[in-house]
A and B are shown apart, each in its own frame.
Chain A
């Protein structure tokens, strides 16, 4: 072990590199298979009985122009209700996991999730302003109000953080402050103006709900996630470069301030889109990146696709279970993600501890 400038460079480590590549390929293919199976299986779950064969026939009818006879009621349940719902769930899980990856890297904080930027509380304020006060109700609807609210909250966080110097801890503190502010505003509107029915409706929506999503929601969420994932994959080295802080990132050729604003804006738009369609689904963005990191290690070129895939599969299952667990009354999917996600998270923490 000497520091020798003269020794020629032996090309070592090719074999372990090859090994991790093969391992990553296996994990990636496994995650794709898991997602496909999850969507297929989730569609069969529910009060009305639908078999996997039915699912296959209906998909072939719609996608491949086949003409297999299937009962109309089943066709409607699968094509108009359960399939779009599973796909929106998948998109939300993928998108929230992706946002978690971005923020945990940029803010260098393993506890960062899409909601540290005040986005969910901004969304709830937007939702109650539209849903209870009726401001802009016909134009925006509750989803539109949530989208506007989350972007406003995010902008306030950025402005405060910028005025306070722009460091990571300032962003997190500003996020916490703004989250509290908008939560208080939401509570204020609910207590001052809402009747109990309106409150219940808004609360249910806020906890995360995939009730009544349609194909236009699938298109919206799907495109948003696809764009976000490609963006992150394209810029994976930038996310890696933040591991040792802004100065090291800068010395590795990253324009720190510009990249930070860009990534945060992508995160905010993506999260706001998810929240406007499905409400504030907690926990996925915090935990799924950790689960994926356990499989792939910290490099984002692998972490991003795997987080997207397992986030999607996780959400599909949580939604399926939430639909039927307390049937006929549905459980808000945000409650389901926490109830299922917390034990999974703790299990990962314990396993990692043993591995160290």
Chain B
């Protein structure tokens, strides 16, 4: 049960951006999606959110094909934070967060007590209560990111999809945000760039390269120097933090030369 994919593929105008990926998070788990730019993380999130339909395989929500679930029902279960969602509308933080209540509301969009409470709660959790009356275009990049996350929380989803949510955030908010989503009682799929953050906060990782899943499992099993070299083409040392049983990754600056035959010959 929850949101799963079985052998999904997406042929996006001639290019196979997702190629046979199976993802089945356990309820409440936080799954990190890793991989370099263009590896298919965002595309997989679009498939999971139902914004795009797979060209092969199936995305299921509670064992029903997501294609057969109405958008409204899907939005009550799944909230998504995409990258680069911007607006030209002069809208306040509170009104943006309240957009998250749309799938729960009837016609006319009138506010109800439950909606107000959900919005206030989401603002509080993202540290935006003091900014509720602020206009979107006056916010910093990090604040905008938090507003979108607050909007997703106001949706009160069971499944949360986040596409590089820590971009633009100061390190403290990166940590706070990931702490928050791991503690929420929702299943989260989060695309991340930072391997150490992924190692610290995710229960499981799925590593993508060229649209294919190349590794999956617990962070300590997945994040090996070999895999990092294969996927990112960089040399890294991985230590295991014994206490937390989490891998710690250090990148070695001269690493790229070490792979070159010429450099080897000179040494």
Contact = CB atoms under 8 A, between A and B. Distances in A.
Asked if chains A and B come from one complex, the reply is: yes
A14 B119 CA distance: 11
Interface residues of A, number: 44
Contact of B105 (A16, A233, A237, A248): A237
Contact of B95 (A108, A254, A293, A298): A298
Interface string B80-118: 101001111111101110011011010111110000111
Say what secondary structure dominates the interface of chain A. loop
Interface string A1-35: 11111110111111011000000000000000000
A108 B89 CA distance: 8
A110 interface: yes
B74 interface: yes
Contact of B120 (A10, A247, A252): A10
B80 A251 contact: yes
Nearest to B132: A13
B127 A241 contact: no
B239 interface: no
Given A12-B129, A17-B111, A297 B71 contact: no
A57 interface: no
A250 interface: yes
A301 interface: yes
Contacts of A16: 133
Contacts of B100: 252
A58 B132 CA distance: 52
Given A9-B120, A241-B102, A298-B90, A248 B108 contact: no
B205 interface: no
B85 A255 contact: no
A243 interface: yes
Contacts of B72: 253
A299 interface: yes
A5 B184 contact: yes
A248 B138 CA distance: 20
A350 interface: no
Interface string A240-281: 110111011011111100000000000000000000000000
Contact of A5 (B75, B138, B183): B183
B215 to A, nearest CB: 28
A244 B120 contact: no
Contacts of B103: 252-253
Given A13-B120, A248-B85, A251-B49, A3 B108 contact: no
Interface string A214-245: 00000000000000000001111110110111
A4 B122 CA distance: 10
B71 A250 contact: yes
Interface of A: 1-7, 9-14, 16-17, 108-110, 233-238, 240-241, 243-245, 247-248, 250-255, 293, 297-301, 356
10 contacts: A12-B123, A234-B107, A244-B86, A248-B99, A250-B51, A252-B103, A253-B75, A298-B89, A298-B95, A301-B110
